[in-house]
Structure 1
Amino acid sequence: MQLVLRPYEPNDVESLVKYANNLNISKYLTNKFPFPYEKKDGEAFIRLALSHDPLQIKAIVFNGEVIGSIGVHQLADIYSKSAEMGYWIAEEHWGKGIVPLAVKEMLKYGFGTFDIERVFARTSHTNLASQQVLKKAGFIFEAELKNTIFKNGEYYNELIFGFRKHQLV
């Protein structure tokens, strides 16, 4: 298995759109991630991903093809020692152990690049696969907030998982 996290390139738009245009992915992400996911969305996302210095968003590349995305975003003000991580991967690659590896690699990048002590990730109570990814990567459950997510006309509980810099091996 050849897994690489790298900056997006403009020619990644085809595979990005191919895999991102999936209701089963968008239903677990914020409304900024549209469905259907079109070429204009992919182009805008790649521009966004390349606009940060240092990079906050990387392409998940498996066997030479972009199959997902992962990011670590440092917060500001009194939260500046924390960063939020988000990710998604093509449905056909779910359950293959790729995302926990990508998360671990992005943790190293995040702690090495940003002046942070904690990385956290949020997921809905229904996204069991993402919860498992975070646990496999060493994240610890921190909190459950009742009915804080409103998506597609329904409320969901928000689960927060954290990873501290001292946990890096």
Structure 2
Amino acid sequence: MDQEGIVGADGYNFFDTFPTLQIGKFRLRELSKVDSDDYFEMMSHHLVTKYIADEDVPKTVQEAQDEIRFWQSLFHEKRTIFWGITQLLNHKLIGTVGYNYWSRSTKTAEISYDLCYEYWGRGIMSEILRNVVKFGFDRMSLDQIEAKTVHDNIASQKVLTKIGFKLGDVLPKHRIIKSVPTDVYTYHLMRSNFTYDNVI
């Protein structure tokens, strides 16, 4: 396990307490078992899962619960961090965002995100992602953040480029979606190229 850099120069230990973030009308918090139904509901929408690998789509509430347990374990095993996106008013889970891979030795991480379909097109994910990227650079001491998206997922590509991500490599037939091998684009954002405009 790559644990280098967990404790910063100021003595701050990243994994002491799970960090909760408030971004506008939304709270980013640790996922829990009570989110299983909401997570399964989100991942049951055909448009939400249109670009997600078959192996990452839960088929039952139990599978959704198992996936949440996996995301929880990443923090408690001091590997990385993944949040649930919830509404402040009713605490309902409407999405997820986080770093599914984090290398302390190279100061790089890969970010991923999902959002309930009914919240698409409102600029919500752009706002959240910008703040989570800031968190990565400021609190995780990252030098570069990477992302992957299916070649025809134009909406996700627009979100990434709006924040400053640049297109990298093309990974041919990298992801199996609806049993079809699908090309994936990689994106990257360097700390030096990130602007802090409109960050809460």
Amino acid at match of 1:103: L
Which TM-score applies when normalising by structure 1?
0.85
Q: What residue ranges of structure 2 are gaps of 5+ in the alignment? A: 1-23
2:38 is aligned with 1:15: yes
Q: Tell me the percent identity.
A: 22
Q: Of Structure 1 and Structure 2, which has the larger fraction of its residues in helix?
A: 1
Contact 1:74 1:116 in 2 (8 A): no
Secondary structure of 2:54's counterpart equals coil
Amino acid at match of 1:87: Y
The aligned counterpart of 2:93 is: 66
Distance between the aligned counterparts of 2:195 and 2:54, measured in 1? 32
| Cα displacement (A) at 1:106 | 1.4
| Cα displacement (A) at 1:76 | 4.5
| Cα displacement (A) at 1:35 | 5.1
Q: Alpha carbon RMSD of aligned pairs, Å?
A: 2.2
Q: What residue ranges of structure 1 are gaps of 5+ in the alignment? A: none
| Cα displacement (A) at 1:83 | 0.8
Distance between the aligned counterparts of 1:35 and 1:9, measured in 2? 16
- Within the candidate set 116, 124, 142, 1:98 is matched to 124
Amino acid at match of 1:20: M
The aligned counterpart of 1:51 is: 73
Cα deviation code 1:31-79 (max 9, x no counterpart): 332253x21122112211221235511001134321011121334497x
CA 1:149 to 1:33, structure 2 compared with 1: closer, same or farther past 3 Å?
A: closer
Distance between the aligned counterparts of 1:150 and 1:97, measured in 2? 28
| Cα displacement (A) at 1:150 | 3.6
2:133 is aligned with 1:133: no
| Cα displacement (A) at 1:131 | 0.5
| Cα displacement (A) at 1:9 | 2.4
Amino acid at match of 2:39: L
Secondary structure of 1:32's counterpart equals helix
Contact 1:5 1:61 in 2 (8 A): yes
Using the TM superposition, name which of 126-135 and 51-60 deviates more: 51-60
| Cα displacement (A) at 1:115 | 4.2
Count of residue correspondences: 167
Distance between the aligned counterparts of 1:50 and 1:146, measured in 2? 31
Contact 1:74 1:81 in 2 (8 A): no
2:171 is aligned with 1:148: no
